Structure 1
């Protein structure tokens, strides 16, 4: 099942995410590609563990979802939520039995090393989310990244490294098969926490993401009176920055209906990135509603509210008068 961003609570619980199998082990796979690993790996258990997978590629998300459906794995949820947001904001402390990272992007250029996932801050966060006995399972064909990750795990001060053979399922993934054809082998490490997860979690601040499902809260909105005539076809891209967020208004699209527009906004808040739509819709009483669209299941955050505010401000620059604010 594919989860929209707004389907999660911040933080969430395994019991809410998996109400039919709340007591099974829980695994998180970061960057699942086309989803080949989990059906193979889940088959090695007497009962398939609960599974969360995160992947930024929409095409991979759809392929993996189809593969999981064919495999009959009903307790598996996929999402485009960024990995660090999932770990930091959704996953509660001491709740994961494993974090799987197969063949991640090695970011080989020296000036790109800070883009790598497996760095000391990641290991500290992961250690706070793993149950006793859990581990980060890392498989890669990139020797330098493998050595880098092992050093970072040691420098984190909360992980020990166990060198193992890769799980058989990791060798059935798309990239493993590709490298096998080229005669390139894979390396595997099991990073095991050495710190108490609850004590460690107490030292790590939670991100300021407060969100509920869209049905449980009013959508950020404003009501304005537009000048007559009004036109937004000369809209230009612009950015607004605030504490902890950046909003970029990318484009405005005109509907076939008179004076009805939709603005596409890009919102960045730390590791969380969303693209949201803000509608500009005339009302029967002559006023105009400026409101976040539900399309795509956005998480309503400070940055998303700022996107609605930025669109409203753009209209005010063009002569609109605000009669009500709801953000």
Structure 2
């Protein structure tokens, strides 16, 4: 099945994600492409492990979902997210049996190394999320990135590098087959944790991740009184920046409900980008509630709170009087 970011808990329980197979091993694949690896690899186990796949391409997500469904692999969850966000926010401490990374983007240009996945911070979080005996499995055709990843694993202080031949399933991916047809090989390493130091779940951009809940009083909001001459036509694109986030208020729309509007905000925090809606709703007492909308399953982060604050601040600039702030 396909999960959105808002469908996960932070951290999540494998038994909730895989209620029919809660006791099987749990494998995460980062960058699954069109999904060719997992059907091959799953057959090497007596029973298919629980599978979590993360990818940033929506087209690949749909192709892989169809492929795994056709293969009868029902205990599989796919999602379109940055891998760092998923591993840091969703995966509990000591719960994964393996993290598989096949032919990752090597970001080969000078100055782009900070975009590579397999760096010290990732290895430190991965060591926390793996069970004793688990490992990060890397297969790549890019020699420079391979050596870079091995050096970063050793520099992390929590990983041991074991070089070996790649598992046959890693050579059945679309990318691997193309390189094999050209007569080129691939390198493989197992990065085995030597320590499993706990790393808090949800750490991102200096804050924490939390799923949206209508009942949660901490959902960012504000209560204010709009001036009698308030005009939504006065809205202009707004940008606000903090130490770890950037918020762009893109547009303001009237809702079907009289006296109501909704603002569209683009929120960027490190590797996490969210499009969120902030509602402006008239209440019975004549005041207006500015509140994060549930639409899209937003995750409450410092940047999302700042989006509600940015809408409130713009309204203040139009003459609104704030009675309460909850963000």
Whether the TM-score (by the shorter chain) exceeds 0.5 is yes
- 2:84 matches 1:87: no
- 2:218 matches 1:191: no
The answer for the alignment partner of 1:151 in structure 2 is 151
Shift of 1:231: 3.2
> CA–CA distance in 2 between the matches of 1:117 and 1:318?
44
Cα displacement string for residues 80-109 of structure 1 (whole angstroms, at most 9, x for unaligned residues):
332122222221222111001111111001
Report 1:43-192 matches (<5 A): 43-192=43-192
Report 1:1-327 matches (<5 A): 1-195=1-195, 197=196, 200-201=197-198, 204-206=199-201, 207=203, 208-218=207-217, 219-242=219-242, 244-254=244-254, 260-282=260-282, 286-327=286-327
> CA–CA distance in 2 between the matches of 1:321 and 1:159?
55
Worse-superposed segment, 114-123 or 159-168 = 159-168
For structure 1, the 5+ residue unaligned runs are: none
Are residues 178 and 238 of structure 1, via their aligned partners in 2, closer, same or farther at CA, if it must alter by over 3 Å? farther
Would the aligned equivalents of 1:10 and 1:209 in 2 still touch at CA under 8 Å? no
Shift of 1:117: 0.8
Would the aligned equivalents of 1:231 and 1:259 in 2 still touch at CA under 8 Å? no
Worse-superposed segment, 317-326 or 1-10 = 317-326
**SS of residue paired to 2:299:** coil
> CA–CA distance in 1 between the matches of 2:322 and 2:194?
56
Shift of 1:257: 6.9
For structure 2, the 5+ residue unaligned runs are: none
Are residues 212 and 121 of structure 1, via their aligned partners in 2, closer, same or farther at CA, if it must alter by over 3 Å? closer
Are residues 75 and 309 of structure 1, via their aligned partners in 2, closer, same or farther at CA, if it must alter by over 3 Å? same
Shift of 1:285: 5.8
Are residues 36 and 252 of structure 1, via their aligned partners in 2, closer, same or farther at CA, if it must alter by over 3 Å? farther
Shift of 1:116: 0.7
Shift of 1:311: 0.7
Would the aligned equivalents of 2:214 and 2:294 in 1 still touch at CA under 8 Å? no
Would the aligned equivalents of 2:164 and 2:189 in 1 still touch at CA under 8 Å? yes
Shift of 1:214: 2.3
> CA–CA distance in 2 between the matches of 1:279 and 1:39?
44
Shift of 1:283: 5.1
Cα displacement string for residues 36-72 of structure 1 (whole angstroms, at most 9, x for unaligned residues):
2212211221111111111122232222223222222
**SS of residue paired to 1:176:** helix
Worse-superposed segment, 69-78 or 23-32 = 69-78
Would the aligned equivalents of 2:54 and 2:79 in 1 still touch at CA under 8 Å? yes
**SS of residue paired to 1:32:** coil
Aligned residues: 322
> CA–CA distance in 2 between the matches of 1:96 and 1:141?
25
**SS of residue paired to 2:210:** coil
**SS of residue paired to 2:111:** helix
> CA–CA distance in 2 between the matches of 1:255 and 1:132?
53
Shift of 1:138: 0.7
TM-score normalised according to structure 2 size: 0.87
Worse-superposed segment, 215-224 or 304-313 = 215-224
Are residues 281 and 178 of structure 1, via their aligned partners in 2, closer, same or farther at CA, if it must alter by over 3 Å? farther
CA RMSD of aligned residues (A): 2.5
Cα displacement string for residues 4-63 of structure 1 (whole angstroms, at most 9, x for unaligned residues):
222222222222322222211011111112222212211221111111111122232222
Would the aligned equivalents of 1:7 and 1:213 in 2 still touch at CA under 8 Å? no
